[in-house]
Amino acid sequence: MRLTNLLAGVMCAALAAPVFAGNVAVADSQAAILATNVAKKTFEKLNADMKPQRDRLEQLRKDIAVIEEKFQKNASVMSDKDKRDLQKQAEGKINEFKGLADAVQKRANETQQEMLKVLIPKTEVVVEDLRKAGNYDIIIEKKNVIFATPEVDLTQKITDKLNAMK
């Protein structure tokens, strides 16, 4: 009986140990990176560079809506040839829209990946520096935590240190 109680006590202690892990902090690494001056400038430049493509996408969206509306209003009185012509026109605009949208998305993804190639290694250095300076045993990604007090959130400190780096 004593052995059973002793084993039960040891098991409870072993299960509770992670709860008392020591000095713990949280951080939202994605938010920290996206809040940096580098990220903001990267996305501002991307938005400026891609403005003509976004404007063209908006124009294509409007053109497609006009064609759809025209087809809905006039389909009953249109000849088969006119319907086919309108359908071809719509398909051409839709194909252009899809191609341009894919190109814009690809460019945005490439730009983000290039930025992350620079910022992720710097973020790892900053997090390690903060871990050492704060004597943290564990730093957990904030999205994996149900609750943490604001005092243990290192997100802003990470952003500030990344902004201070050259």
Domain containing residue 101:
2-164
pLDDT at 21: 57
**pLDDT tens across 50-99, in order?**
999 999 999 999 999 999 999 899 888 988 999 899 999 999 999 999 99
How many C-beta neighbours within 10 Å does residue 162 have? 20
Counting Cα atoms < 13 Å in the Cβ hemisphere of 129 gives: 12
Tell me the CATH number at 53: 3.30.910.20
Is the pLDDT reported for residue 13 higher than 70?
no
Q: At 147, is the secondary structure helix, strand, or coil?
A: coil
How many C-beta neighbours within 10 Å does residue 28 have? 19
Q: Report CA 94 to chain centroid distance, whole Å.
A: 27
pLDDT at 75: 84
If one counts the domains in the chain, the total is: 1
